[in-house]
Amino acid sequence: MKPLQADSLLVLLLRVGAFLCLAGWTWVHFYWEGPYGVLLWNDSSYALAERLGIDWEDFVGTGADDGLVQRWIGLTGWFYLAVTVLTMTVRQKSYIQMVGLLGGGLLLGVLAYAKFIGAQRQLPMLVEHGGQILAPVLLVLALRLGVRHSLTIIAAMIAMVTTFVGHGCYAMGLWPMPATFPAITTLIFGVEHETAAAMLWWAGILDFLVCAGIFFKVSRRSCALYAAIWGLLTAVARPVAGMSFSLNYWGADQFVHEAVLRAPHFVIPLYLFLVWRRSDQIETVAVDSDIGTGPDAPQKVGPRKMTGSPID
Amino acid sequence: MKFIKWLTLSLLVVLIAGVAVSQQKNQKRKGRAVLSVPKVAKKDLICFALYTVHDNTLKLTAQLYPLPAGDSRTVGLEIKKEEEWVEVARATVIERGWTAPFRVEQWNDSQSYEYRVVHEAGSTYTGTIRKNPVDKGEIVMAAFTGNSIHPAHGGDISREDIIANVKRIDADVLFFAGDQVYDHFKHYAGWLKFGRDFGEIIKDRPTLCLPDDHDAGQPNLWGESGKVSTLGGASDGGYSRPGDYVKEVERAQTSHFPDPVDPHKIGQGIGVWFTNLNWGNVDFAILEDRKFKTGPAGRVPKQGPRPDHIRNPDYDPASVDVDGAVLLGERQLKFLDQWSQDWEKADMKVALSATIFCGGAHIHGGANGRLHADMDSNGWPQSGRDRALSALRKGFAFHCAGDQHLATIFHHGLRSHRDAIWSFCVPSIANLYLRWWEPLKPGANREPGSPIYTGDHLDGFDNKVTNYAAANPEKKPAGNILNTRSAGFGVVRMNTKKREITMECWPRNVDISDPGARQYQGWPRTISQLDNYDPPSWGKLGKLTFDVENPVVQLVDETSGEILYTVRVNGKTFSPGAPKGRAFTVKAGRDQASAVILEEAEVGGSARDIRVK
């Protein structure tokens, strides 16, 4: 594959990852409900609203009508929809759209924080969302700085590490494991709970190992490949375990988005796997398309060996 | 670049490890309690004990702290006879959950016995097995639900007020309707704390604890016969926690129940415990309203932001009453059918379950979160609800439950308002999650001077309900963290002489023996046993006068052959209620309605003298 095509593919990959993640969460916001109740239905939120001159019924509604809380939650879905569209429309010089995408990362950060609070402040719940939060940010970095720029790659590594460390902490039982982990394993593999727990413990060990492994040149590609495969499997495991022909729409509306919004869990490692092809095979070509080799890159240069930007 | 690489790696490791260690060490946060299993001296290894006596069988489960390696795993049960301790049973400790279940058959329930559970390491635990209060005339049940221990809503406040009040009324039986433990991962530690908090009253009287959703380690529970749940919130049906965890929970909370009437296991090898307890001539049906219930996700058309929540007030309630959706399930309905006909040693019948058979709240959550209907309630599936109520009213069963975090009294209706049983949903010990009964329209046919939320209503599933009381919390609870959130407990007095049921609903931290103590608005309320099946449209067949005291009478529809009801009459006379325009066969007997005493009986019939000797 030519370098131009390769870089286009990498950008497309990050674009698809961010799109799927945000589209999945958009579905959640419109079809189900964002997980913000835990942030808003509490006294401190009301105290803040009170300081802003908002009274109780305006804040929470009368019971018959929506209040600020319900309206705000409803509005959030439209922000998600807008940012989802931006993942497809943003180009290398679409600065305003990039700001929008960074806002998308912020929205995902708020969402992750809400889930963190909802999970009784279990740190892995916050950490494991790193991949999703950074998915739109990565797309912006790839477009602005280049898919092979060191900052883009570092951000991708952080995204991957946070996701897998978060999962690993749960899988190894360092925090109480979400019940869905062993339940899904039990159903898919038809094993007893003890076996499922043991499998997950080893998977947790591997989660940590691949996080460390991506920092070493000798192991980073294999680790990224493993992470991509494992990320894909854990994402699709949810619909595989939960869907059934006996359910309305086969249960697709309940489970498919669970896989879709986890797209960064496998897309980002796959991006790292592809970007870490042997550096001596990599050549860059200045382009004026959206593949994002960066605004400061020479506009017309011959093939050259990459020595600086990619992390090696 | 190497520097950047190693710097990034090091920072990540330090950040994650540092925060992890910090969070693991500093788990205690404002508003939340941290559960742990304390180390205890060898003399204190037995934490508490629960028991029931039914049909001359004593079942007692001793709950132990973890036994040190090398210590015996055998525990003895002794009773005091003529000032001597006599061993009546031994049990091997089940290490998973550290329970020791005892069973003593041919138990003499006509007198009380002091008992002690003994472990050879020097630990003993003493209590009293009460005599069966058959001659007491009034059986008093103290009823509880929602035992949150978190300080944010007063869960850390001592239960001493409850202990003192239960002792004051000398309750004959304790009923914990569910959520004895809220921690989804540490039931054992939570259960030990429950024992430390309530053991002092549990040890001396039969106690029924129904494990509900939080006990089983999940936010809601549609057990679906033991399926594995994989959806967050578990509305796809089944258990979120592994089967072995659920079994441990049920062993701790229910292994002292009378034997299950139909002990076949369900999925994941999880057992069942639905059964009945006859105590003081009150026959309690102990129901598992969660275990067989179908999960709504993917089964019903989506009507709200969660698969189990209906927000759309204009939805068609019939659309969610889908074929195949189960509530109690065939096995329990069969049990109820037999139970309602069996009046051996029973004057009154009471059904106990986790929650009530209707949508019993409108506003859910921290504030004005109006929910049209909640499929976690037993208002759904409607067909299952109707079948359950149809079965229960055939025995004039009064219903007591919890779960709602909101105390209520409802008179349920099937074809018309008030044609089925009454229910009392008791308040939470400490109220984690607030709910309000706040219909948008005033109720019809309200009692004079009663609040507008009382009266005849349709719940969110179009079930007919008549509300008589709701202990709504304050809109913005402040100050008394327990009672502004409507925490408390219920007392049910079953007068077996008058055949009356009195419901009391008490706030926390009051002396309920003090004449000045006030219950929540709407309580107390007394109903007749017969009010549990007395549709307004019915008439009377005609007065029957028997030659024996308290015979059992049964009405059978002559057209359909279906039993209308069975009841033990109070005294020698009885005017059976029945629907107009239908003919009934009347059966009667001393303890079983085995003899036909009247045929083609209709409303408006003449008085009769009946011989059943």
pLDDT tens digits, B371-423: 889 999 999 999 999 999 999 999 999 999 999 999 999 999 999 999 999 99
Task: Tell me the pLDDT band of A305, cut-offs 50, 70 and 90.
Answer: very low
pLDDT tens digits, A221-253: 999 999 999 999 999 999 999 999 999 999 999
| Full domain range(s) for residue B61 | 42-129
Question: Measured between beta carbons, which residues in chain A are less than 8 angstroms from residue B217?
Answer: 179
Question: Which percentage of chain B shows pLDDT scores above 70?
Answer: 94
- For B229, the closest chain A residue by CA position comes to A183
Interface of B with A in 512-551 (CB under 8 A): none
Domain annotation covers residue A37: yes
Contact A169 B20 (CB under 8 A): yes
Contact B19 A123 (CB under 8 A): yes
- For B238, the closest chain A residue by CA position comes to A183
> Does the ipTM surpass 0.90?
no
CA angle, A78 then A82 then A84, to 5°: 115
Looking at B498, B533, B568, which one is the last position of a domain? B533
Same domain, B185 and B288: yes
Domain annotation covers residue B88: yes
The average pLDDT across B195-216 equals: 98
Query: Residue B153 maps to which CATH number?
Result: 3.60.21.70
Count chain A–chain B contacts defined by CB atoms under 8 A: 118
Question: Measured between beta carbons, which residues in chain B are less than 8 angstroms from residue A193?
Answer: 242-244
Domain annotation covers residue B5: no
| Full domain range(s) for residue A188 | 3-281
Task: Tell me the pLDDT band of B93, cut-offs 50, 70 and 90.
Answer: very high
Domain annotation covers residue A291: no
Contact B8 A32 (CB under 8 A): no
From CA A84, how far away is CA A101, in angstroms rounded?
A: 8
Residue B106 CB coordination number (10 Å): 7
Encoded tokens for A274? 């592809």
Name the phi and psi angles at B324, rounded to 5: 90, -10
Checking if the pLDDT of B437 tops 80, the result is: yes
Closest among B169, B178, B206, B230 to B491, alpha carbons compared? B169
Distance from CA of B263 to the nearest CA of A (A): 23
Domain annotation covers residue A146: yes
Residue A301, pLDDT score: 36
Encoded tokens for A7? 């870089």
Helix (H) or strand (E) holding B75: strand B74-81
B193 touches chain A (CB under 8 A): no
Encoded tokens for B134? 């058959």
Task: Tell me the pLDDT band of B26, cut-offs 50, 70 and 90.
Answer: low
Checking if the pLDDT of A293 tops 70, the result is: no
Looking at B98, B129, B160, which one is the last position of a domain? B129
Mutate to test the interface with A, among B230, B235, B438 (most CBs of A within 10 A): B230
Encoded tokens for A91? 């180009």
Task: Tell me the pLDDT band of A298, cut-offs 50, 70 and 90.
Answer: very low
Closest among B136, B173, B174 to B497, alpha carbons compared? B136
Encoded tokens for A59? 């804040």
Encoded tokens for B275? 């059964």
From CA B198, how far away is CA A8, in angstroms rounded?
A: 67
From CA B389, how far away is CA A95, in angstroms rounded?
A: 64
Question: Which percentage of chain A shows pLDDT scores above 70?
Answer: 83
Encoded tokens for B88? 């009546």
Buried b (16+ CB within 10 A) or exposed e, A197-217: bebbeebbebbbebbebbbee
From CA A37, how far away is CA B371, in angstroms rounded?
A: 14
CA angle, A188 then A190 then A194, to 5°: 105
A31 touches chain B (CB under 8 A): yes
Q: Are strands B282-286 and B348-352 parallel, antiparallel or unpaired?
A: parallel
Same domain, B271 and B397: yes
Contact B231 A182 (CB under 8 A): no
Same domain, B323 and B422: yes
Encoded tokens for A256? 């498919």
Residue B368, pLDDT score: 54
For residue B524, whether the previous peptide bond is cis, meaning omega lies within 30 degrees of 0, is: yes
pLDDT tens digits, A24-76: 999 999 999 888 877 876 667 777 777 888 776 677 665 556 677 777 888 89
Domain annotation covers residue B33: no
pLDDT tens digits, B543-570: 999 999 999 999 999 999 999 999 999 9
E strands within chain A? none
The 3-state DSSP class for residue B303 equals coil
From CA B265, how far away is CA B270, in angstroms rounded?
A: 6
Checking if the pLDDT of A312 tops 90, the result is: no
Same domain, B320 and B445: yes
Same domain, B391 and B473: yes
Distance from CA of A106 to the nearest CA of B (A): 21
Residue A266, pLDDT score: 98
Same domain, B202 and B87: no
Domain annotation covers residue B14: no
pLDDT tens digits, B165-186: 999 999 999 999 999 999 999 9
Residue B462 CB coordination number (10 Å): 15
Same domain, B338 and B296: yes
Residue A98 CB coordination number (10 Å): 21
From CA B406, how far away is CA B487, in angstroms rounded?
A: 8
B479 touches chain A (CB under 8 A): no
A73 residue type, one letter: I
Overall domain count for chain B:
3
Question: Measured between beta carbons, which residues in chain A are less than 8 angstroms from residue B223?
Answer: none
Residue pair A142/A10 in contact by the 8 Å Cβ criterion: yes
Checking if the pLDDT of A286 tops 50, the result is: no
Task: Tell me the pLDDT band of A289, cut-offs 50, 70 and 90.
Answer: very low
Q: Which residue blocks in B34-107 are alpha helix, DSSP H? A: none
Out of A214-228, A284-298, B363-377, which region has the weakest mean confidence (pLDDT)?
A: A284-298
Domain annotation covers residue A118: yes
Question: Measured between beta carbons, which residues in chain B are less than 8 angstroms from residue A248?
Answer: 298-301
Residue A257, pLDDT score: 97
Domain annotation covers residue B86: yes
Domain annotation covers residue A63: yes
Domain annotation covers residue B257: yes
Residue A59, pLDDT score: 72
Query: Residue B551 maps to which CATH number?
Result: 2.60.40.2190
Domain annotation covers residue A300: no
Domain annotation covers residue A295: no
Instruction: Measure CB to CB from residue B476 to each of A56, A176, A244 and give the nearest one.
Output: A56
Q: How far is CA B164 from CA B125, B160, B415, in A?
A: 20, 6, 43
Overall domain count for chain A:
1
Mean pLDDT, chain A, integer: 86
Domain annotation covers residue B20: no
- For A27, the closest chain B residue by CA position comes to B305
Q: End-to-end alpha-carbon separation of chain A, Å? A: 21
Question: Measured between beta carbons, which residues in chain B are less than 8 angstroms from residue A276?
Answer: none
Q: Are strands B398-401 and B57-64 parallel, antiparallel or unpaired?
A: unpaired
Distance from CA of B45 to the nearest CA of A (A): 27
The average pLDDT across A151-160 equals: 97
Same domain, B592 and B515: no
Closest among A195, A189, A202, A282 to A237, alpha carbons compared? A189
Instruction: Measure CB to CB from residue A179 to each of B4, B218, B305 and give the nearest one.
Output: B218
Looking at B95, B129, B163, which one is the last position of a domain? B129
From CA A309, how far away is CA B572, in angstroms rounded?
A: 99
Residues near A194 by Cβ (< 8 Å), separated by ≥ 6? Answer: none
Domain annotation covers residue B12: no
Burial (Cβ within 10 Å: 0-12, 13-18, ≥19) of residue A5: exposed
Domain annotation covers residue A294: no
Question: Measured between beta carbons, which residues in chain A are less than 8 angstroms from residue B368?
Answer: 57, 60-63, 67
B370 touches chain A (CB under 8 A): yes
Checking if the pLDDT of A81 tops 60, the result is: yes
Q: How far is CA B326 from CA B240, B364, B395, B547, in A?
A: 19, 24, 22, 44
B230 touches chain A (CB under 8 A): yes
The 3-state DSSP class for residue B208 equals strand
Residue B17, pLDDT score: 59
Checking if the pLDDT of B95 tops 60, the result is: yes
Distance from CA of B296 to the nearest CA of A (A): 10
Encoded tokens for B394? 């055939």
Closest among A13, A265, A231 to A139, alpha carbons compared? A13
A254 touches chain B (CB under 8 A): yes
Mean pLDDT, chain B, integer: 94
The 3-state DSSP class for residue B143 equals strand
Same domain, B204 and B339: yes
Say which residue the tokens 């005033």 belong to: B442
Out of A140-154, B19-33, B523-537, B591-605, which region has the weakest mean confidence (pLDDT)?
A: B19-33
From CA B498, how far away is CA B102, in angstroms rounded?
A: 36
Residue pair A181/A199 in contact by the 8 Å Cβ criterion: no
- For B20, the closest chain A residue by CA position comes to A123
Residue pair A270/A233 in contact by the 8 Å Cβ criterion: no
Same domain, B341 and B362: yes
B475 touches chain A (CB under 8 A): yes
- For B244, the closest chain A residue by CA position comes to A193
From CA B476, how far away is CA B180, in angstroms rounded?
A: 26
Same domain, B280 and B370: yes
